[in-house]
Each structure stands twice: as structure tokens, then as C-alpha cells.
Amino acid sequence: MSAPERIPPGGVTATDPAGAELLAHGALTVRGRISDASNAALYCTVTHEGREAACVYKPVAGERPLWDFPDGTLARREVAAYEVSEATGWGLVPPTVLRDGPYGEGMCQLWIETAPESDLLALVDAREPEPGWKAIGLAEVGEGRTALLVHADDERLRRLAVLDAVINNADRKGGHLLPTADGRLYGIDHGVTFNAENKLRTLLWGWAGEPLTGEALDVLKGLRAALEPGGRLAVALTALITPAEVDATRARAEALLETGTHPEPSGDWPAIPWPPV
């Protein structure tokens, strides 16, 4: 028997149906555990019809209960984030499916190999960011010193900031940003999203209060239509999150269109996740 055809890491984009099909129907083999994950996250290979790829499998059985996210599961919210990402057409979340695995139902997501070096976040000893950077806020760096935390003024990050606002991402850390050698950027770890209450917590505040781009407004109009009762995206999300959360997602898209600007920190919830990376 010939060796399985490997899908190169990062070679299947978020809009390639081959990736989702492989994840959904392939045989999962656990290769190890990702030790720094707060919930059970297993590094696996998945094979199907002569094709093979690396992936992450997060079984529901390995999730820790969260008092502020009592409804649903982390796994289903991860898949819901992928569905919204796909509806934007931006392909910001790696192919992600809900399926049975060796430890029961869980989320299965294509493994993404990151570029060795990428300038997306930085700490600078300055009061204002340099051109090409956006300020996040001051951070303590030890011995009573502070530095300015900045992120790149990058179109890919700006798109991700819009996606996070729609899905109400409560944990957009630097380590959840995966740039690849081909110039794409993926966001991962979307288990704490879609809460009906405003819980947006992110490092991508650099555009707060600024006008949304024309592209973003067009995408939001499409999301609003797809989230209408009976709409394609609304139907997909209803199988993954609660009706109240679907309604809240629609309301967030509508609110962004009404204001025409990137959201600002509410003051009712910590604006930046900890640790930020």
C-alpha cells in the first residue's frame, strides 16, 4: 500500500473544502498531548482516502466548566467561530469540524504551521507607536517600568478584529495568532466566544473607535443577511450555540453596521486578556 498523500502544513486554506472533508471523515490517530493548553488538546493525524494531515482534537470530555460560559461547549463554539469566519469569506479560522473521536465528541481543527518570524506584536519604549503600528496600552515590564504594547497596522489583523467583535471573543491573545509562510493569518482558540453578554477581550484594540473599512461593512451586511432567522449561517449556528447567542451575534453585526466603527472597550469587562501572549 502506498503512503498517504500528505497535505502540507498550512497548505489547506480555510476556504478549501478538502480540509474540512478530511477532518470530518478521516481516521484520527492521537500522537500526543499539547501540554500548555488549559483544556485537553490532542495533537493527531487524520487520514482519509489516501490523504493525511496533522490536526488538533479537543474532546468535550476534557473541557473544564466555566462559570461565565455555562451554556454549550468549547468545542461547539470553536466550530461556530469557523462557520462565521467562512461566511465572511476571509478564511481567518482553520478548517474546523465537530466529530466523534477516540474520546468522544470534540472539535477537530487543521494544524497550522506558523512562519518562524512575524512582527505582529511588540513592546516599545515610547509614548506613541511608530508608523505601521497601533497602540494597545501600557504594560508592566518589571522593576516599576512600563512599555507600550503595540500591534501591527495589518489588514489581516484588522479583519480578525472585526470577526472577534462579531463572535464576541473573550480571549484574543497573541499566541492565538498564527501567521504562515504564504502570508496568511489564522486565529485559533475560540472556545470562549458568542456569549450573549458583551465580553470582548482582545489585544487588537488599535482601531477602536475608527471607521470600519468599506470591505468590512460589505462583509457585515452579508453576515446580517445570513444571520436572519432561517438564513444559512443562522441555521448552522443554531446547531452549535443557543438561540439567545445566535440572536446576540446578529445584534452585534447590526450594531457594527449602525455605528460604522470598530468597537471600544466597554469598561465593564477587562479589555485585554491575561496573560496577553
Average pLDDT, the chain: 90
CA distance 208 to 215: 17
Residue 274: its pLDDT value, please? 74
Cell of 43: 495533537
| Nearest-10 Cα torsion for 133, 134, 136, 140 | 30
Question: Which three cell numbers, joined as nine digits, stand for 183?
Answer: 502570508
C-alpha cell at 179: 501567521
Q: Which of 4-8, 77-81, 251-255 has the lowest mean pLDDT?
A: 4-8
Q: Is the pLDDT of residue 277 over 70?
A: no
Question: Between residues 237 and 122, which one has the greater pLDDT?
Answer: 237
Q: What is the number of residues in the chain?
A: 277
Mean pLDDT, residues 67-84 taken together: 94
Of 17 and 46, more confident:
46
The three state secondary structure string of 93-161 is CCCEEEEEECCEEEEEEECCCCCCCCCCEEEECCCCCCCCEEEEEEEEEECCEEEEEEEECCHHHHHHH
pLDDT of residue 134: 95
Q: Is the pLDDT reported for residue 11 higher than 50?
A: no
SS3 249: helix
The model's pLDDT over 115-131, given as tens digits with 9 standing for 90+, comes to 876 789 988 888 899 99
pLDDT in tens, 148-176: 999 999 999 999 999 999 999 999 998 89
Burial of 16: CB neighbours in 10 Å, binned 0-12, 13-18, 19+:
middle
Query: Is residue 15 pLDDT above 80, yes or no?
Result: no
Residue 142 has pLDDT above 60, yes or no: yes
* Positive/negative CA dihedral, 242, 243, 246, 251: negative
Contacts (Cβ under 8 Å, ≥6 apart) of 87 = 222, 223, 226, 232, 233
Alpha-carbon distance values, 249 to 23, 85, 221 (Å) = 26, 13, 13
Q: What is the DSSP letter of 7?
A: P
Per the CB < 8 A criterion, the answer to whether 110 and 97 are in contact is no
Confidence check: pLDDT of 6 > 80: no
**What is the predicted pLDDT for the residue at 3?**
46
Local confidence band at 4 (pLDDT 50, 70, 90 cut-offs) = low
Would you say 263 and 208 are in contact if contact means Cβ atoms under 8 Å apart? yes
pLDDT in tens, 177-218: 999 988 899 999 999 999 999 999 999 999 999 999 999 999
Percentage of the chain beyond pLDDT 70 is 92
